[in-house]
Chain A
Amino acid sequence: MAKYLAKRIFYLILTLFIVITVTFFLMKLLPGTPLTNQAKLSQSQIALIYKQYGLDKPEWQQYLLYLAGAVKGDFGTSFQFSDQPVSYLLSSRIGPSLQIGLQAMVVGVVLGILVGAIGAMRQNTWVDTTTTVVSILGISIPSFVLAVLLQYYLGLKAQLFPIAEWGGFIYTVLPTLALGATPLAESARFVRTEMVDVLSSDYIELAKAKGLSRMGVIYHHALRNSLIPLITIVGPLAVNIMTGSMVVENIFSIPGIGEQFVKSVLTNDYPTIMGLTIIYSFMLCVVLLFTDILYGIVDPRIRLTGKAN
């Protein structure tokens, strides 16, 4: 286990190193500088600004400096907000994003398990059909369409929730719902398929034969065994939520990193874009590592020492 963990953490660091390197040099490929359109600046002023941002040094030195800074969590200074370190900008914004992302994940997966289990229990009835329709719709409707509809009907028309801004739990409800729809649908589909499989297995027959109640069979035997493989889709779901958050945070004006990413892209704020890319990769790597370890713990049949995949 310790050996496996060390190996995985080594790969995590390697991955992040590659991500930093590739983004750094990709950013250097971009045409123009943040001062391209500043005609009023004299040559010496531009040279001074370059010096301030460390842009006067050769690229390999800039790269090494950036790398050394990134290890310490320093991603340089934002181009858009002068004198704002990227790390400060992002650390003040990561809270809302994490809160909404985690809420969406938990709400989506818990409801998804429920919907999937009910569908499997009432297999091939109208209940099953309804849950299948719900899950296929959840996958097919993009989160930004859902977000706008929720905002309009539940926020503006029904006046149940605030339509935008950030203030307290009530402000997180609509974004959570918009982001949670895909995890709900994906996990419902997954749990249903798994559970239909499990329900027809011999040990369920045995549990029934021993006289366990229907709920007892479902809860103690069927559900537990159907949930283990669900851990494998947590990684992809996390990606989905990160992707969705960029648009959903924008729609609800939430001061999160997704909204910042879009803003930075539109204003060519390269240091911030780089910092965000690294943070996104880091979060995803941690989620993937965590789920792999969890998978090994809950299902002893999988040997962690063997394959990483």
Chain B
Amino acid sequence: MADTAKLPADSFKPMSADDRAALDSEKIAAPSLTFMQDAWRRLKKNKGAWVSLILLALIFILAFGSAIASPHDPNQVHPEYANLPSKIPGIGINGFNGTLVQAGQRIDAYKQAGATGAHYLMGTDYLGRDLLSRVLYGTRISLIIALVATLFDLTIGVTYGIFSGWKGGRVDTFMQRVIEIILSIPNLVVIVLLILILKPGMLSIIIAIALTSWTNMARLVRAQTLEIKEQEYILAARTLGESSLKIAFKHLLPNLSSVIIINTMFTIPSAIFFEATLSYIGIGISSPQASLGTLLNDGQKNFQFLPYQMWWPALVLCIIMLAFNLLGDGLRDAFDPRTKE
């Protein structure tokens, strides 16, 4: 490092005024972004989260769109078309071409049933109901349950958390004890007990999941509130005489938004999972209504001979869970860049 480069004197020249302006260290080249815009920009860079977002949008549109326009009526029974495997026109691969193995031989189930013209994309169930329509219907029920549960999560959980963290002291200790007691009973047991009392059905599942799912949100929001309430801007707002309610809405909520959004993304799959488990056990949604859990339960009975009846709902359930989990991870990285290495 001892020898220095020998540069001729004419390679140097004084800076012009324009050059100086271009080098202005105070100038900000990029447009300034709000917190949300910044997070959105980072989210778009995350391939997994971006694909999940599009997939979820698609599933939402299909599931809720099927309420208006469905390929078949999900409850229309066609006994003569029972247990037809899936047939997708133009695809000749076994498993998607309407054939199935019967007594060691591959036969065209559609021809056998006299339904040569028909094609059910996901096949039919044991009553001849179109599986695709039922999966879409089931997805809709599962999503509705998850969304309503999330709504409770957002109202009860966030309010409880903010109140507990904001009040502090004895109130906080007491409220945290209550949560600890709720957390020391497995959620599913509480949900089952509530459903027994409320009679099985969609409404009681929603109530049961809603009443148990908010604890996690409340704890996270409380921890964050404890941190935020020590900040100077809260002190300033208090000094200026803002009411607690207004501080909660104007200052706490916007600063809690990232925690809330991220946690919501993990509440939804767990609500879907609980609903599927309950329906699978047999105390959830009851027939003729369908949810992904009941479809899985029906499909599992015939898995050995008609595997598609379980594969399709299982696939849809896994995709939804996967997409929400990936989106949740992506949102966490987007809102908190420090976690991303």
Contacts and interface: CB of A to CB of B under 8 A. Distances in A.
A11 interface: yes
Nearest to B185: A281
Given A142-B321, A200-B341, A265 B281 contact: yes
Nearest to B310: A148
A228 to B, nearest CB: 19
A141 B176 contact: no
Contacts of A145: 296, 314, 317-318
A243 B318 CA distance: 18
B50 to A, nearest CB: 15
Interface string B175-193: 0110011001111110011
A142 B277 contact: yes
A166 interface: no
A141 B320 CA distance: 10
Contact of B304 (A156, A200, A239, A285): A156
A136 B184 contact: no
B186 A242 contact: yes
Contact of A152 (B189, B296, B303): B303
Given A142-B273, A247-B280, A136 B185 contact: no
Interface string B292-328: 0000100010011001001000100110011001100
A26 B176 contact: no
A273 B325 CA distance: 33
Interface string A253-275: 00000000110011010000100
Please tell me the size bucket of the interface on B: 35 or more
B180 A15 contact: yes
Q: Which of B269, B307, B321 has the most CB of A within 10 A?
A: B321
Contacts of B317: 142, 145
Contacts of B189: 261, 276-277, 280-281
B192 A265 contact: yes
A145 B272 CA distance: 14
A189 B229 CA distance: 31
A140 B303 contact: no
A18 B192 CA distance: 18
25 contacts: A11-B180, A15-B181, A15-B184, A23-B193, A136-B322, A136-B326, A139-B321, A141-B318, A142-B276, A142-B321, A144-B277, A145-B317, A193-B339, A200-B341, A239-B186, A246-B188, A247-B277, A250-B281, A261-B189, A265-B196, A276-B189, A281-B186, A281-B189, A284-B186, A308-B180
Interface of B: 176-177, 180-181, 184-189, 192-193, 196-197, 269, 273, 276-277, 280-283, 296, 300, 303-304, 307, 310, 314, 317-318, 321-322, 325-326, 329, 339, 341
Given A15-B184, A193-B339, A281-B189, 16 more contacts: A15-B181, A19-B181, A19-B185, A23-B193, A142-B273, A142-B321, A144-B277, A239-B186, A242-B186, A242-B188, A261-B192, A277-B189, A281-B184, A288-B184, A308-B180, A309-B176
